[in-house]
Amino acid sequence: MKTAEKLAAGWLLTLGFMFLTLSVSAALEKKSATKPIALGNNEYLAKEYLNRDALYLLDTTARNGIIFGIPTMVLGSWMSLGLYRQSKYEKKALQQQLSDRLQSTFYQMLHENQGRVTVLGFAMNSQLPAADARQYLDLKAKEFNANFQVTEEGAVSYHFDI
């Protein structure tokens, strides 16, 4: 569904841009068609000749390009903006779910281990990479004033007061 909406928004923006470009092109062509033609020394021979049918066609093309281009561009922009906002909302919701899951895992491990948590244990339970697990535990350690204990092998365990 989202792919179809993205394609529709893209097509509407493209179509609107084409209509507006066609309108601008017709207006510029009409402007150049109404300029008098200079014949050099024989200025008195120059007659003002305007092809009324061609000017009418250019006028109609410019008007129709605006009539169809602006609403199409507005609709495509509105759909694109809606998709952008929806995507932002979904990312925020996923981030909140991840945060809630990590917090739940963290508190569960604290309860089960009497306030002692290791990076490896938290990484295994939360299914996070080790670097992310360490970063999360560092933040929580600062937040709750945890104590650190480093083993001889270099492993760090966090001790939280419960």
Please state the domain extents for the chain: 1-92, 113-162
> How far is it, in rounded angstroms, from Cα 139 to Cα 49?
81
The more confidently predicted of residues 84 and 160 is: 84
**Is residue 78's pLDDT more than 80?**
yes
What is the pTM for the complete model shown?
0.62
Calculate mean pLDDT across residues 11-34.
Answer: 92
Contacts of 82 (CB under 8 A, 6+ apart): none
Alpha carbon 90 to its chain centroid, in Å, reads 12
Strand order of the β-sheet with 156-159 is 116-118, 156-159, 147-150
The more confidently predicted of residues 77 and 153 is: 77
Closest to 65 in 3D by CA, of 31, 28, 17, 9: 17
> How far is it, in rounded angstroms, from Cα 20 to Cα 47?
34
